[in-house]
Chains A and B, each alone.
Chain A
């Protein structure tokens, strides 16, 4: 029997959730035995090889590219997990929704105390993706099957959720593992 397939990505997040996956420590070697990594930075699978059992999304969407990657994940993953507060509700990056995007850009590229910008350029090259006018959570773009809260979710939470889903057991996390910090 072939192993279940797992894919992961980070959108508008800080990669802390991926670090928390690594915080399962020695069990990462067990995980490698348990699953086959598809479309993931861990191997050289070029694209989704077909249908994938579990997709893990860190981060919400702050630019057009994030949206495309998220849609691609939904199209290929049987189960999609929003991992952490940014994927679940936008998180800290969504604080920029409180101010107009143009003010954020002006502060960074025109008004900051160390800025040297005689031509008053704001980055706009076709080679960098367009920003969304507001940061959105993953479920605002595609259907999400499971939400694991936390900034980041503790390694134990991730481990228990993954092993339950991979072995077909019910996903019942104890109260202590559900955290919002």
Chain B
């Protein structure tokens, strides 16, 4: 029998260092049961207020500075919103395809980086492996071929971004109404020479993620898992489309909550709750309310929500993926990895199609229409659905800005995952082990939150867990990577 103890508060800080520092607190009651588990986002920027008064054409280059991990998402989403403001509803084929190439290039590099640099140490060595090898340097030593693959896949995506946006990070290619450059024959051929290799490596990575999930099926089903709604953009025919579409949301059983909601109508359907203990808000579907209306976004949600993928290899992989849950939505946190690698292969297929499309060399880059006072756009970023909303006055100055970023949409799900792992792996334990720390990390990491970009970049999250009694006396403390 476990003797009653004083209530405890466990603090994990910082969980991360990008787009804000994160911190986890877990409260244990007298019986060492989890009373409360929270992921706090510790940073605040204030973008929405201080862009007021800036000229609208600055937004695609300014707002992307929110995040250096996937700046292309903000660059393109702001450009799409500003297309509306300059009265352009349909871009020229060249502009649309150059932007799509940029976007899928980013998807490819971001997913590859997350998988190889961040997650492969857990999958290759185990959650409880010696932390001395459970990192990207360990992967480079033990599996040098995989480490090189990760580096080269990321490099390929970054080269696509450089060619289409002008710079690998914080580029300038997309402008309101179109793009400022096409893709030259030389640049196209430079990328085409590597595409077969990239497809091959993407197939290999998918196999790795799939085999892992199948071999560890029981763990995958239970680890940090919970039922939820899912949301993403889909094309008019229900296909996955990461660049453009309408909103669809489904419940845990696959019933549609929203379907084909135009981005312009998002205000009627999405709200964000404010809580005192986090700078990150908690979005929900208005008609369901904050308790029932929260949802997941990102690769898992997209695989669950779309009807099909319109590239052959990724579609075959999707069919295999949905078999695991008999066609019902997959609610397993760890299944994000498998879903993410299906999207990586899909991105490589789309990149190949686009590179072979002569429209990339077209000369018609920019359109102009009648000015509108408002622009709203939605995009599927690597981490999920991204909303940009601007009001622009007759002097070309932004008067209002509202952003709901991908990781924010996953706020409640990440909190649920932390709570589930705390309950299953921490409850009743007297000592906190390094393995426990990593279990909490693994759950948060599955969502590839932008706030874990330190992890994202280099392989390990810095963490501190403190066990204190109700008087604030530290009973136990573990830290790493600080």
Q: Do the beta carbons of B46 and A105 come within 8 Å of each other?
A: yes
Shortest CB distance A159–B (Å):
14
Shortest CB distance A11–B (Å):
8
**Nearest A residue to B277 by beta-carbon distance?**
A125
**Does residue B462 face the partner (Cβ distance < 8 Å to A)?**
yes
Which residues of A lie under 8 Å from residue B481 when comparing CB positions?
A: 39-41, 43-46
Q: Do the beta carbons of B276 and A125 come within 8 Å of each other?
A: yes
**Does residue A176 face the partner (Cβ distance < 8 Å to B)?**
no
Chain B 258-293, CB-CB to A under 8 Å as 1, else 0, gives 000000000100111111111101011000001000
Q: Do the beta carbons of A128 and B278 come within 8 Å of each other?
A: yes
Which residues of A lie under 8 Å from residue B482 when comparing CB positions?
A: 39, 46-47
**Does residue B170 face the partner (Cβ distance < 8 Å to A)?**
yes
**Nearest A residue to B138 by beta-carbon distance?**
A43
CA distance A124 to B279 in the complex (A): 9
CA distance A124 to B275 in the complex (A): 9
Q: Do the beta carbons of A15 and B170 come within 8 Å of each other?
A: no
Which residues of B lie under 8 Å from residue A123 when comparing CB positions?
A: 44, 274-279
Contacts between the two chains (Cβ within 8 Å), count? 222
Interface residues of B in 463-479 (CB under 8 A from A): 479
Which residues of A lie under 8 Å from residue B281 when comparing CB positions?
A: 108-109, 115
Q: Do the beta carbons of A115 and B151 come within 8 Å of each other?
A: no
Which among A92, A114, A117, A131 has the highest number of chain B CB atoms within 10 Å? A114
The answer to whether residues A15 and B48 also contact, given A47-B479, A92-B65, A128-B40 and a CB cut-off of 8 A, is: no
**Does residue B461 face the partner (Cβ distance < 8 Å to A)?**
yes
The answer to whether residues A26 and B148 also contact, given A15-B19, A42-B137, A114-B272 and a CB cut-off of 8 A, is: yes
CA distance A8 to B287 in the complex (A): 45
Q: From the candidates B148, B270, B456, name the one contacting A114 in the complex (CB within 8 A).
A: B270
The answer to whether residues A152 and B279 also contact, given A18-B68, A19-B457, A108-B49 and a CB cut-off of 8 A, is: no
Interface size classification for chain B: 35 or more
Q: Do the beta carbons of A99 and B50 come within 8 Å of each other?
A: yes
Q: Which of B128-136, B173-181, B416-424 contacts A (4 or more CB under 8 A)?
A: B128-136
The answer to whether residues A101 and B68 also contact, given A16-B170, A22-B154, A44-B135 and a CB cut-off of 8 A, is: no
Q: Do the beta carbons of B43 and A104 come within 8 Å of each other?
A: no
Q: Do the beta carbons of B274 and A107 come within 8 Å of each other?
A: no
**Does residue B66 face the partner (Cβ distance < 8 Å to A)?**
yes
Q: Do the beta carbons of B151 and A117 come within 8 Å of each other?
A: no
**Nearest A residue to B21 by beta-carbon distance?**
A65
**Nearest B residue to A107 by beta-carbon distance?**
B49
Chain A 47-85, CB-CB to B under 8 Å as 1, else 0, gives 100000000000000110100000000000000000000
**Does residue B146 face the partner (Cβ distance < 8 Å to A)?**
no
Q: From the candidates A65, A99, A127, A152, name the one contacting B170 in the complex (CB within 8 A).
A: A152
Which residues of B lie under 8 Å from residue A15 when comparing CB positions?
A: 17-19, 67-69, 453-454, 456-457
With A40-B458, A114-B272, A155-B168 known, 6 other A-B pairs at CB within 8 A are A14-B67, A20-B68, A26-B148, A41-B17, A112-B48, A112-B272
- A-B contacts, 16 of them at CB < 8 A, read A10-B453, A14-B18, A14-B68, A15-B69, A22-B154, A23-B168, A25-B152, A41-B17, A42-B135, A42-B136, A44-B480, A46-B479, A62-B43, A91-B65, A99-B52, A131-B44
User: Chain A: residues with CB nearer than 8 A to chain B?
Assistant: 9-10, 12-23, 25-26, 28-29, 32, 37, 39-47, 62-63, 65, 91-93, 95-96, 98-99, 101, 103-109, 112-117, 121-125, 127-129, 131, 151-152, 155, 181
User: Chain B: residues with CB nearer than 8 A to chain A?
Assistant: 11, 14, 17-19, 21, 23, 25, 38, 40-46, 48-52, 62, 65-69, 71, 113, 131-132, 135-137, 140, 147-148, 151-152, 154-155, 158, 167-170, 267, 270-279, 281, 283-284, 290, 389, 400, 402, 404, 453-462, 479-482
